[in-house]
């Protein structure tokens, strides 16, 4: 770190230490004290608890961690991690409060065991670098555990309060956390390690934190990255991935499994949703084989295996793995909802509408995450059935879509806005929508996976062609151009996946020629432009692809799901130009 960053970091730590001391005093009133525990035993316990946790034996993991959570940094950190995962999965206020309390306790435990720097020593930092050889092994591990507890606290802030203020607070806390990880990296590289094992565990944590930060920041749109760089953040995707892969490669490291979770999440979820290129699926296949041999009943690895099969286009296999994940544990029923969500899309991809409607209904009744989206999904699925079920049921669903609208960080969810607009359109079009589930499947990027199954993409294409003929035979109503353009986008996307570039290009260009006719669905224009860019890339015309992506980025604004497409454009430009995020800011 620079001298300025060190001073800023120390000021932040001094303020936090005061708060931690008060939290510690409060904690002592309610938490019984235990005798001290040595570092090696604590790390061994953390390994055992991690094994139990990722094999779904959550109670055994807690029994190892909780008795020492008020006095041992690794036990306290483990307890905080388990509680935070529960909070993130449930969004239940009682679990959020519990996690917040345990994280505060962890920070106070770590603060007691960190190196305490005097005012004189702090002033001395301005003229000479810190000698980290003066730190004990316990003190450097306390620095790392403290950084990890800061990260948990920052992430929890984002779900603790649904206001913009929470995002500002979370951002400031992540700033402190980022500086803490940077100091840990300095410790790793400058300290003389007496024990290789202690270094391996420390390095595992540093690589996990630094890798995750770089990866997450690199995925943000350029304008946000520019602001983050102004306050000292930087993001390098390749560096982040290499750090996580190095952390995963050292299987003896305590955070090895966290590196696996980050990498699987990036390659199977983030890359799929926020880009148009597959992640490293070969790496995922090998990693899942290893982790499932070690944790055959692990809910997360079973889920990721399902996601891997879906990304490969093997929807039938994906369904089997998602069901295994869902049925592997009952402690977190909220995680069942994530599996139901994936099962719904898998059945939609196979056009198994009855089964898809069943999971959509379960989500609508049980999950609190976004009932607006779940209700609209169920209505859209019912409209895909031939013939549709009772129209009264669909009418009722469409009427209540806006009722469950929510605000996160003071803003509406983009996909909820989209669902509400489509519900309004349903009634404006005499209680009808054009292939609403295919539209959602396209927007969720499922056509990428469907393109790996020519039988499935051909089946969808035939349905689109049939609907196109029906629309042509109807008199032109208010939203005729919008519906025609939607069918052209879906048809063009199918044709691209079917390797018919000229036919696909014709469909997509016709959409752009309709820009003055489209009344509401203006999102179709930038999405068609991006689809043309992907088509150009498929043909090896990289320069044209870049130009079209730049056009989509600069020439369209104010349309539905704009942020989603901007993320994808950013990802595609980075992929095509081979540049880092900060290199394409302008």
- By 3-state DSSP, what share of the chain in percent is helix, strand and coil, each rounded to 5? 75, 0, 25
Cis peptide before 258 (omega within 30 of 0): no
Token pair in block for residue 163: 């206001």
- Look up residue 475 and give its two tokens: 């008199």
Extract the tokens encoding 358: 């069943």
According to the model, what pLDDT value does residue 466 have? 97
Residue 410: in which H helix or E strand, if any?
none
Beta strands in 217-258 (DSSP E): none
| CA–CA–CA angle 572, 496, 382 (5° rounding) | 100
What pTM value is reported for the model? 0.87
Task: Give me the pLDDT at residue 11, please.
Answer: 53
Segment (H or E) for 479 = none
d(CA 247, CA 254): 9
Which tokens go with 439? 């539209």
Tokens 């150009």 sit at which residue?
536
254 DSSP 8-state letter: T
* In contact, 33 and 71? CB cutoff 8 Å: yes
Q: Is 297 exposed, middle or buried (0-12, 13-18, 19+ CB in 10 A)?
A: middle
What's the confidence (pLDDT) of residue 24? 39
Residues of the chain with pLDDT below 50 are 4, 9, 12, 16-17, 20-34, 119, 123, 162-167, 580-586
Distance set, CA 141 to CA 38, 106, 148, 277, 428 (Å): 12, 13, 11, 38, 62
Distances (CA, A) of 62 to 76, 108, 152, 185, 309: 11, 20, 18, 30, 32
Q: Using CA atoms, how far apart are residues 549 and 534, in angstroms rounded to an integer?
A: 9
Query: What pLDDT score was predicted for residue 241?
Result: 93
Give the pLDDT of residue 163: 47
Query: What is the phi/psi pair of residue 555, to 5°?
Result: -100, -5
> Taking each helix axis from N to C terminus, what angle separates 164-190 and 196-218, rounded to the nearest 10 degrees?
140
Residue-by-residue DSSP string for 415-463: HHHHHHHHHHHHHHTTS--SSHHHHHHHHTTHHHHHTT-HHHHHHHHHH
Q: How far apart are CA 538 and CA 178, in angstroms?
A: 39
- Look up residue 72 and give its DSSP letter: -
Complete domains list, the chain, with CATH: 7-28+36-295 (no CATH), 434-585 (1.25.40.10)
Query: Is residue 392 classed as helix, strand or coil in its secondary structure?
Result: helix
């Amino acid at each position: 770190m620079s001298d300025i960053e060190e001073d800023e970091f120390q000021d932040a730590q001094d303020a936090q230490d005061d708060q931690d001391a008060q939290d510690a005093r409060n904690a002592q009133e309610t938490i019984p004290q235990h005798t001290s525990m040595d570092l090696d035993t604590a790390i061994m316990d953390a390994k055992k608890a991690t094994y139990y946790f990722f094999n779904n034996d959550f109670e055994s993991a807690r029994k190892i961690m909780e008795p020492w959570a008020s006095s041992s940094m690794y036990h306290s950190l483990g307890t905080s991690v388990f509680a935070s995962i529960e909070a993130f999965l449930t969004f239940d206020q009682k679990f959020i409060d519990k996690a917040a309390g345990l994280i505060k306790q962890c920070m106070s435990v770590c603060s007691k065991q960190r190196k305490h720097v005097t005012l004189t020593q702090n002033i001395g930092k301005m003229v000479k670098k810190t000698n980290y050889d003066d730190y004990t092994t316990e003190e450097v591990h306390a620095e790392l555990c403290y950084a990890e507890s800061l990260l948990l606290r920052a992430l929890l802030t984002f779900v603790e309060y649904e206001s913009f203020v929470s995002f500002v607070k979370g951002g400031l806390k992540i700033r402190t956390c980022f500086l803490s990880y940077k100091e840990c990296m300095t410790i790793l590289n400058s300290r003389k390690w007496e024990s290789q094992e202690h270094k391996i565990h420390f390095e595992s944590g540093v690589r996990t934190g630094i890798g995750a930060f770089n990866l997450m920041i690199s995925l943000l749109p350029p304008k946000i990255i520019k602001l983050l760089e102004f306050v000292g953040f930087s993001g390098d995707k390749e560096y982040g991935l290499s750090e996580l892969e190095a952390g995963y490669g050292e299987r003896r490291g305590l955070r090895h499994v966290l590196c696996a979770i980050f990498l699987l999440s990036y390659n199977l979820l983030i890359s799929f949703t926020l880009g148009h290129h597959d992640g490293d699926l070969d790496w995922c296949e090998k990693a899942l084989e290893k982790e499932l041999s070690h944790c055959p009943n692990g809910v997360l690895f079973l889920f990721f295996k399902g996601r891997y099969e879906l990304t490969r286009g093997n929807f039938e296999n994906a369904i089997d793995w998602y069901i295994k994940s869902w049925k592997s544990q009952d402690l977190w029923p909220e995680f069942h909802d994530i599996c139901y969500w994936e099962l719904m899309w898998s059945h939609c991809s196979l056009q198994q509408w009855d089964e898809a409607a069943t999971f959509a209904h379960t989500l609508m009744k049980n999950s609190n995450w976004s009932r607006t989206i779940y209700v609209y999904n169920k209505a859209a699925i019912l409209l895909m059935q031939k013939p549709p079920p009772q129209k009264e049921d669909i009418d009722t669903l469409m009427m209540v879509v806006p009722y469950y609208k929510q605000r996160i960080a003071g803003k509406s969810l983009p996909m909820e806005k989209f669902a509400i607009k489509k519900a309004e359109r349903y009634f404006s079009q005499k209680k009808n929508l054009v292939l609403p589930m295919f539209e959602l499947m396209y927007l969720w990027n499922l056509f990428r996976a469907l393109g790996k199954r020519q039988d499935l993409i051909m089946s969808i294409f035939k349905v689109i062609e049939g609907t196109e003929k029906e629309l042509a035979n109807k008199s032109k109503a208010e939203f005729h151009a919008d519906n025609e353009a939607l069918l052209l986008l879906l048809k063009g996307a199918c044709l691209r996946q079917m390797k018919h570039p000229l036919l696909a290009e014709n469909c997509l260009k016709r959409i752009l020629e309709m820009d003055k006719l489209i009344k509401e669905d203006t999102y179709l224009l930038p999405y068609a432009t991006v689809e043309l860019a992907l088509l150009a890339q498929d043909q090896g015309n990289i320069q044209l692809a870049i130009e079209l992506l730049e056009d989509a980025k600069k020439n369209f604004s104010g349309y539905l799901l704009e942020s989603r497409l901007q993320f994808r454009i950013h990802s595609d430009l980075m992929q095509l130009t081979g540049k880092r995020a900060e290199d394409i800011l302008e």
